[in-house]
A and B are shown apart, each in its own frame.
Chain A
Amino acid sequence: GQQVMQIPQYQHVQEGEDFTTYCNSSTTLSNIQWYKQRPGGHPVFLIQLVKSGEVKKQKRLTFQFGEAKKNSSLHITATQTTDVGTYFCYGGSQGNLIFGKGTKLSVKP
């Protein structure tokens, strides 16, 4: 079945350092979405990527979709304590969409 692998599982950074999480699929994805879940909260949509090679930016966050549409990344520049949470990718094809297991980010002030 569809598998979406997300790495790393955990990332601990010092405030001001950069952070990247990766999402990989064995099959071509129709699109990919990224969500953020704060501790004790619910997942909140960040962005959707649809086109091969697409790059989108939201302030300090940069999202990329691979040329083969099999991988994606979320990069945060100069992390802040407000970036703490778990970041999930969500993607699939032919109506079969699943979440990656998430990357939990902790930021030390």
Chain B
Amino acid sequence: NAGVTQTPKFQVLKTGQSMTLQCAQDMNHEYMSWYRQDPGMGLRLIHYSVGAGITDQGEVPNGYNVSRSTTEDFPLRLLSAAPSQTSVYFCASSRHTYNEQFFGPGTRLTVL
């Protein structure tokens, strides 16, 4: 099993550009989530999904979109990148909401 994979590992964007961060898991987990991690702020939930076709907002959803068309994939879209979105982004999955989460290796994003 590959676990949770994320691409790309690093990305530099200019303000106003859009992009999609990819996340995939091969453990047949129902629950998937996206976090951003900033110094001193811990891990903040952006969006999450409890199953294919179901998504919901987390603590900091503004500027991000998600979709969950399959169990395996949960892409995160930045609509119009802003410097405030410079961060490390982690995707995670778990069997269900209260189970242990498995994290991907992260994407380090810089917006100039």
Among candidates A45, A48, A98, A100, residue contacting B59 with C-beta atoms closer than 8 Å? A98
- Scan B22-62; emit 1 where CB is below 8 A from any A CB, else 0: 00000000000001000011111100000000000001000
Main SS at interface, chain A? strand
Which residues of the other chain, A, contact B102 by a CB distance below 8 angstroms? 45
Q: Given A98-B45, A100-B42, A101-B42, do A44 and B103 touch, yes or no (CB 8 Å)?
A: yes
Contact call B106/A42, Cβ cutoff below 8 A: yes
What bracket does the count of chain B residues touching chain A fall in?
A: 10 to 19
Contact call B100/A45, Cβ cutoff below 8 A: yes
- Scan A75-109; emit 1 where CB is below 8 A from any B CB, else 0: 00000000000001010000101111110000000
Determine how close the nearest CB of chain A comes to the CB of B110; give it in whole angstroms: 16
**Chain A residue with Cβ nearest B56:** A95
Cβ of A73 within 8 Å of any chain B Cβ, yes or no, is no
Contact call A88/B42, Cβ cutoff below 8 A: yes
Contact call B105/A42, Cβ cutoff below 8 A: yes
Q: How far is the CA of A6 from the CA of B43 in the complex (A)?
A: 13
**Chain A residue with Cβ nearest B105:** A42
Contact call B90/A43, Cβ cutoff below 8 A: yes
**8 A–B pairs (Cβ distance < 8 Å), ordered by A:** A30-B98, A31-B98, A43-B103, A45-B102, A95-B97, A98-B45, A99-B43, A101-B40
Interface residues in chain A, defined as those with a beta carbon under 8 Å from any beta carbon in chain B: 6, 9, 30-31, 33, 35, 41-45, 48, 88, 90, 95, 97-102
